[in-house]
Amino acid sequence: MYVGEYRDLLRDGQGSYTFPGNFFHYSGSWRRGKMHGQGELTLGDGTSYEGEFQDGEIEGVGLKRWPDGSSYSGHFREGEMHGEGVYLSASGERYEGGWENNQRYGHGQLRLANGYIFSGNFAAHYPSGLGKMVYASTGHVYEGEWLAGVRCGNGLLQDASGDRLYEGHWRDNRRNGDGV
């Protein structure tokens, strides 16, 4: 059911629409029958979005919240996290940085619930390329290359006081070779 403004028999201007069966509810701006401009969308499962819409799609800057308490504030493209943004998980993770198609991508910082902090490059949601991990439990710091979330390539592992523990090649998250 739609309540709001019309133009040329299409939803246009401000209005609210509830899809039959409460599959979703939208309140905000409309243009030529499509959600367009600022609005609020609530899905039947409790997921909500507040922000920009373009031609019926979540597009631009907004805030999305999930029923479990997780949230994302930042840029969207075609309904997916894309561009710069901040994601807070219900389990206590915090990621701030680049996104591409709902996956961490580009430069960012990930703070895990266990206190570990990774700063560096991401690809396909995982640390890949150059990055630095601070291990809260030991104070150790690894700085070097990553591949699909594991240490892989050249890197340096230091203890909490900055003393070198190992510098050299890593493979599958393990020291590989003699190193220094």
Condensed to tens digits (0 to 9), the pLDDT of residues 112-142 reads: 999 999 999 999 999 999 999 999 999 999 9
Cα 32 versus chain centre, distance: 31
Compute the Cα dihedral for 121, 127, 132, 136 and give only its sign: positive
- pLDDT for position 179: 83
- pLDDT for position 177: 87
Distance set, CA 174 to CA 52, 58, 133, 154, 156 (Å): 45, 42, 15, 11, 12
pLDDT higher than 90, residue 21 = no
pLDDT higher than 90, residue 57 = yes
Q: What are phi and psi of 110, to 5 degrees?
A: -115, 120
Closest Cα to residue 41, out of 61, 16, 21? 16
| Tens of pLDDT, residues 24-51 | 999 999 999 999 999 999 999 999 999 9
| Tens of pLDDT, residues 59-86 | 999 999 999 999 999 999 999 999 999 9
Name the pTM for this structure.
0.92
Tokens of 51: 């922000």
- pLDDT for position 30: 98
CA distance 32 to 113: 45
